[in-house]
Structure 1
C-alpha cells in the first residue's frame, strides 16, 4: 500500500517541476534571447517481486513481476534552436546564427554568456547591454570593441 503512495508522490513532485519549467517558458515568451527548457523524466529503479521462469514441455514461461518505485527528473535541458529574428532600427543590435554566445562582463566583474544582442554605446564609447554590462571582444577585453576591433576574426 505505502509503495504505491510513494510512486504517486514522486509523480506529483516531478510533474510540479515540469509545470514550473513550462510556466517559466510562458513567462519569458517575449524575452529577447530567451531559451526555453524542457524536462526529461527517468523512472526510478523497479523492484522485482518474482523472477521469470523458462518454458517447459507442458507450460509456457512466466514473465517477471516488477513494481516501479516512481519517477524522477533526469535533466532539464535547454532548447538551443534559433529564435525568429526581428528587424531593428538600432545598428548595434546583433543576432547570432547557429551556435554561440556573446560574452559580457557584469557589474560584479564576472563573465556571463547571452544571446541577447540588443546593445548600445555608453558615454565612453563601450558596447554595453541594456543593463550597462560590457560586451567583451574576441580576447575578452572591452577595449577591443571600443577601439573598433572586430568582435570575431
Structure 2
C-alpha cells in the first residue's frame, strides 16, 4: 500500500510543478521578450519483482512519474 501512496505523491508533485510553470507563463504573458516554458515528464524507474513463480514473466511495478526538465519554448512570438 505504501508503494502506491509514493507513486501517487510523485504524480501530485510533478503536477504541482507543471501548474507552477503554467502560472509563471500566465503571469508573464505581457512581458516583452518573455519566453514561455514547458515541463517534460518521464516515468520513474520500474521495479522488477521476481518470485519463485514469476521467473518466466517477472512483474514490473512503476514507481510514478518525475519531472525530466523545464525547457523554454523558442517559438516566434507576436511582434509589438
Q: How does 1:3-152 map to 2 (within 5 A)?
A: 3-50=3-50, 53=56, 63-86=57-80
Divergent runs of 4+, >2 A? 50-53
Q: Secondary structure at the match of 1:38?
A: strand
If you compute each CA radius of gyration, which structure gives the higher value, 1 or 2?
Answer: 1
Give the Cα–Cα distance (whole angstroms) in 1 for the partners of residues 40 and 5 of structure 2. 22
Q: Which has the higher contact order (CA 8 A, sep 6+)?
A: 2
Q: Which ranges of structure 2 fall in alignment gaps of 5 or more residues?
A: none
Give the Cα–Cα distance (whole angstroms) in 2 for the partners of residues 21 and 36 of structure 1. 9
What is the Cα-based RMSD across aligned positions, in Å?
1.4
Give the Cα–Cα distance (whole angstroms) in 1 for the partners of residues 8 and 14 of structure 2. 10
- Cα distance, 1:64 vs. partner? 3.3
After superposition, the Cα gap between the structure-2 partners of 1:81 and 1:5, relative to the gap in structure 1 and judged at 3 Å, is: same
Return the TM-score normalized by structure 2: 0.88
Return the TM-score normalized by structure 1: 0.47
> Alignment length, in residue pairs?
77
